[in-house]
Structure 1
Amino acid sequence: MRTEQAALGLADARVRQAQAEAEEKEGLVQANVTAEKLLAEARGEQEKGLARARILEAQAAAEEKQGLAKPGFWKRS
């Protein structure tokens, strides 16, 4: 009877260990997924910022050209 109880206890311990290992692996997978999502979001925000900067540069260049091309700009009184 003690042998059976020991065998059942050992089997239960192995099942619990397997469950704990599976939960640990699942946690690591979730952590990796979260990290990849955050990196992708950060890259996206960086790209948006660079695009905004390019737009502002283009607008500034266009405004500068408009200022230089105003009628009568070169004429001095």
Structure 2
Amino acid sequence: IGGGSTHAWCQVYLPGAGWVEFDPTNGIIGNRDLIRVAVARDPNQAIPLSGTYAGSPDDDLGMKVQVNVICEAVAGDSMGASAS
């Protein structure tokens, strides 16, 4: 599949390290180079694209993805809090 294709990866719990992202498709451990677009327990809930295609295996429909990063405060996060 390679790094340019949409696919799923998982998180595994490692004692002492906690939850670590693991991408067996590309052999990546940790969240380096992974862009999360959805989180779900059932893969069908996280599919960004769905449908069917009938054609030659050599055909490539292509796909473009635009990611807009929005920073949001997390409950209990002290970022943005002023010191008094």
Task: Give TM-score, length-normalised by structure 1.
Answer: 0.21
Which structure has more relative contact order (CA 8 Å, sep 6+)? It is 2
Task: Give TM-score, length-normalised by structure 2.
Answer: 0.20
Structure with the bigger percentage of strand: 2
Structure with the bigger percentage of helix: 1
Larger Rg: 1
